[in-house]
Amino acid sequence: MVVSVAEYLGQRTDSEINIVPVELGEPVSCPFMDRSCEKVLKNLQPVCAVRKTDNSVWISCEHRLCSSRKKNKLGQSIGLVKHQQELLLHIAKFIYADEQLTLDEVGIKKEVTIPLPEADHNYHADYVMRNFSSRGKVDEILLEMQGGGETSNTGAITKHVANWAKMALPTNKFLRENVAANTIETNAWRRQQEQFLVKGNVVDQTGGKIVFVVGRPLFDYLYKRIRNANLRDLRQHNWTLCLLPIKEKTEQEIRSGKIPLTIDEELALFTNYSTFIRVLTDQGFPCPAIFEGEFTLLNNTFKVV
């Protein structure tokens, strides 16, 4: 399998304007949050996203979709950059079904602690969102963001970008060449499952709703596991969970800068949280055959049953 670098420090690689590589280890502003790029500071190549062979975008940086960082390296509180404001308002308008919503009618809290008294640690929600307009009946939302995740053979991607950066004249054409690597949807979802189950259950019991915002490739991975469950579409009713896919906005002309993202409204799934969890946990069928056949006894002899 192969992927290609789709975005480098907020600059899309399929633009005609060549990207200028940055000096690793030096502070450089992240275009997606009010902080320096953490990858560059760690001497890592600032690859924000890669492109799969089906042309879909896999977000490989945890801050690319909508970072929930609250403070900078100095411990000072930070605000929302334009990218975050636009995406969060876009999500709010869709979730609350209100195109009239403005920036001053939607409130958020970042990295909200969700206590779990019976455990030895707490969980943190990416965002809690409230609707402070007087128009909608939907209000309290827990917003979880998972644009994508890691890739296999990251070293090959890093080497490729490093070779590009060392060119006398680095070109986007070279930067977006295919690299032998692959996206790992399984790991991305596996890391989220426990938190998704626990945080969602807390919010459901509290009377709120959970919205899981995911990149389109991760949504496709999840949807394969629930597509035959015939989940009720509660978009116009009392839904408690929304699975919200984010895709690349391809209707406009390609320009230099970030890859524009938008909600895939047709695929958005509004359903009941409890029902959704039952579907996730009720996977597979009885399989007596796994307990039959040849067994190795502990004395290294064999037994067939």
pLDDT at 170: 96
**What average pLDDT does range 146-157 have in this prediction?**
94
Q: Is residue 281 very low, low, confident or very high in pLDDT (cuts 50, 70, 90)?
A: confident
Q: Give the largest CA-CA distance in the chain.
A: 74
CA–CA separation, 218 vs 190, rounded Å?
11
How high is the mean pLDDT of the chain?
Answer: 92
Share of the chain above pLDDT 70, in %: 100
**What average pLDDT does range 56-65 have in this prediction?**
96
Query: Is 148 in contact with 47 (CB distance < 8 Å)?
Result: no
Short-list 2, 4, 48, 52, CA closest to 22: 48
Q: Given the DSSP bridges, would you call strands 123-131 and 141-146 parallel, antiparallel or unpaired? A: antiparallel
Q: Is residue 195 very low, low, confident or very high in pLDDT (cuts 50, 70, 90)?
A: confident
Query: Which amino acid is present at 84?
Result: Q
CA–CA separation, 253 vs 15, rounded Å?
10
Residue with tokens 């640690």: 121
Short-list 194, 183, 186, 196, CA closest to 153: 183
182 SS3 class: strand
Q: Is residue 46 very low, low, confident or very high in pLDDT (cuts 50, 70, 90)?
A: very high
171 SS3 class: coil
| 146: pLDDT strictly greater than 80 | yes
CA–CA separation, 282 vs 276, rounded Å?
10
**What average pLDDT does range 135-145 have in this prediction?**
89
Q: Is residue 78 very low, low, confident or very high in pLDDT (cuts 50, 70, 90)?
A: very high
Whole-structure pTM value: 0.91
Helices (H), the chain: 38-41, 82-95, 154-165, 172-175, 185-206, 216-223, 273-281
Query: Which amino acid is present at 251?
Result: E
Question: What beta strand segments (E) does 2-52 contain?
Answer: 4-8, 11-12, 47-51
| Residue pLDDT, tens place only, 283-298 | 777 888 889 999 999 9
